[in-house]
């Protein structure tokens, strides 16, 4: 929801000897071995030693950062500059020196006077125009008649033009190479296909992810009949792990770890994604299960009841998705005699069951988060905890941590209480149920319209509590946004699945409604309150969550682009941006689509929010959450699915003297915070890939699919669109789209604004050619069609005037 990158550039720890994760394995060459290898031609530079890297970083001769490889152009990679204001460009695979996407690496940059461009850019407008005309004339002579003419400006200089127009490439210089791998974040596992190579003692493994190198796999590691019947495995998906990558070879070496099944099937593809991203989806071992209660059904011990505030008679209920089983938050709201309200947020007390440093705690801290796929959840904790002991199921006594406020109808907080409690939820409401109550405030709901309700609390009481919460939430939300908060909503695709096959039957754009906003508002309030409390009690040990401001250079470029497009956007602060986004972009039926495109553009400069330990960051100004515009924020409300919340619960319990004495150090909290950041990033990416996987199947089974789309960005021979009916983003390539093959393009820049002019040849000899100008916000018709590759689909541009 909130654009939640690092607090500061990654700093090396130069006071320790390298651990296993700090150095590469067998392919980490020491400089003393170089002489022995002179007879073998090296493809890659040998790595520096740890000592050389340490000295180079201290002297400022080397730069450390996290490697990002462009998934669409695998020869391009980047690391952030030391001041984190721009990116340093690594050109080519050799420059990456066997490092992989996500790895923490050290690079060496040439001095500025040695920077080079492959081709000189033509500076004068007259020279550019002359080159354009000559190129067009030459292409027209040699290009056969096509359905669409796409005229092209200076294609052979595109790379240089891009670099000159994009400061992230030219400002940083030319990188010699990666000289050291500090930490291998990439799993070194990939899904892909095997290819038989005659007269070779190995097979070639080709990863689906082009950012991963091709891998030589010994034939002895392949299926027994692979050499005699290689064709039988042409469509079989394998998982391969890289075991070595010598400096003398373009290819890595590896071993097959598993045969997944046929490419294009959901479960094999899903398992491949989970393995590639190092998500532990194995069953929990017996040692973990031994940490859980044995006597089932479990009841709360009397001695534990005596330590807690008893809220079992209060009207408390959950609001979740209809299919949710891990219910970790509940709400309550009752009106007081003075007209104010007592509002409670009640969170499952997972830390009661997950004791610090036992086997269950170790596994949970390693997993760090539950991973939500379209068809299932990979839980952080065993299902006995997630779906039973800790889940706030209706009509069951459950252990909770509560935050209870005395609050005015306008949302002003008068009093606040934290403590361990016991609740008994009276009903499990879905978002649809709560929404129905909000939309029909005077309706008398019957028992048949709702899930089973505790008879102690009449339906009318629950309905009124929901209405009161909604009213207070609206006031809290208005206060937040008037106080400078920002929310960047983007379309989210959801699926309806066949209950037996779990195949997609349909898809729709998820609607974020008042019932969602109600729950979100009180979860935010609880998280903010908890952050203030634990930081006040533990200024050196608190686990908080910051959101750094957007990158200034990217923000300046966005402002220039918006100015060119005539969009009045104020990017000076989070609050100013929010006010700009809620201003309607036009008053027609496509104003919402234009807002979606603009929101996407504004999301690009945003950094990710991060967990951190307050003792590891000395400047309190860096604690701030940019999007929420609050000084302190943390995660407290989802301990079933986030390990960071469990740490926060332990801090809270210790601060209230209702939990064990903390054995955590600041370094340990920061280390766990960093791990949670990594796992949260992985979880988000895996969730996106799962959605893409299911949508690819949906297009294959139900396509071709026609839809209107709005242009989000324009390149020289392609452009990106937001497909309005499905909320997916797709790139349309003019050179390969039917009927745009074998054609030319005219690509122009006006400041930061770019346009692509397509000239459609007439359908008959009597009609004139049709010109179509493609720029940001242009409305086009597209068709989504399945590709030959499993699970892949393309977007094809339709001729103007062809109705969807």
Binding site for Mg(2+): what residues are annotated?
Answer: 320, 329
- Chain-centroid distance of CA 300 in Å reads 38
CA distance 786 to 103: 33
Query: Which among 13, 70, 34, 41 is positioned nearest to 616, based on CA atoms?
Result: 13
Question: From the CB of residue 191, how many other CB atoms can be counted at a distance below 10 Å?
Answer: 24
- C-alpha distances (whole Å) from 786 to each of 488, 680, 704 are 31, 31, 7
CA distance 424 to 415: 24
79 within 8 A of 107, measured Cβ to Cβ: yes
Q: What is the DSSP letter of 387?
A: I
Count H helices, E strands: the chain?
19, 33
Per-residue three-class SS string for 472-502: HHHHHHHHHHHCCCCCCCCCCEEEEECCCCC
Q: Which residues pair with 183 in a beta bridge?
A: 104
Residue list, annotated binding site: 320, 329
Q: What angle separates helix 666-702 from helix 643-655, to the nearest 10 degrees?
A: 140
750 within 8 A of 563, measured Cβ to Cβ: no
89 within 8 A of 148, measured Cβ to Cβ: no
Report strand pairing: 397-407 vs 413-424.
antiparallel
b/e burial code for range 437-471 (CB count within 10 A of at least 16 → b): bbeeeeeebeeeebeebbeebebeebbbbbbbbbb
- CA max distance for the chain: 91
Report strand pairing: 377-378 vs 543-546.
unpaired
């Amino acid at each position: 929801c909130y654009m939640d990158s690092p607090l500061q550039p990654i700093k090396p720890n130069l006071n320790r000897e390298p651990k296993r994760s700090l150095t590469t394995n067998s392919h980490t060459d020491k400089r003393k071995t170089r002489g022995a290898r002179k007879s073998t031609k090296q493809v890659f530079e040998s790595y520096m030693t740890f000592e050389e890297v340490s000295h180079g970083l201290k002297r400022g001769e080397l730069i450390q950062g996290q490697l990002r490889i462009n998934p669409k152009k695998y020869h391009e990679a980047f690391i952030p500059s030391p001041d984190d204001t721009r990116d340093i460009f690594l050109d080519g695979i050799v420059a990456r020196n066997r490092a992989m996407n996500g790895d923490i690496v050290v690079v060496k940059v040439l001095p500025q006077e040695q920077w080079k461009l492959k081709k000189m850019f033509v500076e004068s407008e007259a020279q550019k125009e002359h080159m354009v005309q000559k190129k067009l004339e030459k292409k027209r002579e040699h290009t056969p008649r096509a359905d669409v003419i796409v005229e092209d400006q200076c294609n052979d200089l595109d790379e240089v033009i891009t670099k000159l127009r994009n400061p992230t490439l030219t400002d940083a210089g030319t990188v010699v190479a990666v000289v050291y791998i500090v930490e291998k974040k990439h799993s070194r596992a990939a899904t892909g296909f095997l290819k038989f190579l005659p007269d070779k003692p190995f097979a070639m493994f080709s990863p689906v992810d082009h950012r991963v190198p091709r891998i030589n796999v010994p034939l002895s590691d392949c299926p027994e009949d692979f050499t005699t019947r290689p064709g039988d495995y042409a469509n079989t998906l394998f998982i391969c792990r890289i075991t070595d990558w010598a400096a003398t070879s373009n290819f890595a070496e590896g071993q097959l770890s598993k045969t997944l099944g046929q490419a294009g099937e959901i479960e094999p593809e899903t398992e491949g994604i989970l393995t590639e991203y190092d998500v532990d989806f194995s069953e929990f071992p017996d040692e973990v299960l031994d940490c859980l209660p044995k006597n089932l059904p479990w009841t709360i011990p009397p001695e534990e009841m005596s330590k807690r505030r008893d809220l079992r008679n209060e009207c408390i209920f959950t609001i979740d998705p209809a299919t949710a089983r891990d219910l970790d938050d509940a709400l309550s709201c009752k009106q007081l005699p003075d007209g104010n309200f007592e509002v409670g947020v009640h969170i499952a007390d997972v830390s009661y069951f997950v004791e610090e440093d036992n086997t269950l705690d170790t596994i949970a801290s390693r997993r760090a988060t539950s991973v939500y796929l379209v068809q299932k959840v990979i839980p952080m904790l065993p299902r006995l905890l997630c779906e039973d002991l800790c889940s706030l199921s209706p009509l069951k006594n459950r252990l909770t941590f509560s935050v209870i406020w005395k609050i005015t109808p306008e949302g002003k907080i008068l009093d606040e209480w934290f403590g361990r409690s016991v609740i008994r939820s009276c009903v499990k409401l879905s978002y649809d149920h709560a929404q129905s109550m909000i939309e029909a405030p005077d309706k008398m709901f019957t028992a048949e319209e709702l899930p089973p309700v505790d008879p102690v609390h009449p339906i009318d009481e629950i309905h009124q509590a929901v209405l009161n919460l909604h009213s207070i939430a609206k006031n809290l939300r208005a206060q937040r946004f008037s106080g400078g908060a920002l929310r960047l909503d983007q379309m989210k695709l959801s699926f309806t699945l066949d209950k037996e096959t779990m195949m997609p039957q349909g898809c729709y754009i998820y609607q974020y409604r008042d019932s969602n906003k109600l729950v979100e508002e009180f979860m935010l309030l609880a998280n903010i309150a908890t952050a203030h409390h634990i930081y006040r009690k533990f200024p050196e040990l608190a686990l908080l969550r910051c959101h750094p401001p957007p990158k200034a250079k990217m923000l300046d470029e966005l402002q220039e682009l918006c100015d060119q497009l005539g969009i009045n956007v104020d990017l000076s602060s989070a609050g100013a941006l929010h006010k700009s986004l809620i201003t309607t972009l036009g008053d027609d039926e496509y104003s919402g689509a234009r807002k979606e495109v603009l929101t996407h553009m504004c999301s690009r400069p945003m950094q990710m929010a991060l967990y951190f330990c307050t003792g590891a960051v000395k400047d309190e100004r860096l604690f701030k959450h940019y999007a929420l515009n609050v000084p302190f924020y943390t995660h407290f409300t989802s301990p079933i699915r986030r390990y960071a919340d469990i740490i926060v619960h332990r801090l809270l319990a210790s601060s209230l003297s209702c939990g064990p004495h903390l054995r955590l150090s600041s370094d340990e909290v920061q280390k766990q915070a960093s791990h949670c950041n990594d796992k949260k990033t992985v979880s988000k990416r895996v969730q996106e890939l799962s959605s893409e996987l299911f949508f690819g199947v949906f297009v294959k089974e139900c396509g071709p699919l026609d839809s209107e789309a709005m242009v989000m960005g324009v390149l020289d021979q392609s452009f990106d669109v937001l497909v309005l009916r499905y909320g997916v983003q797709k790139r349309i390539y003019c050179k390969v789209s039917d009927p745009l093959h074998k054609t030319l393009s005219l690509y122009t820049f006006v400041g930061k604004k770019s346009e692509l002019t397509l000239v459609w040849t007439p359908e008959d000899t009597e009609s004139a050619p049709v010109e179509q100008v493609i720029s940001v916000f242009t409305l086009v018709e597209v068709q989504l069609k399945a590709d030959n590759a499993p699970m892949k689909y393309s977007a094809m541009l339709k001729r103007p005037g062809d109705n969807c």
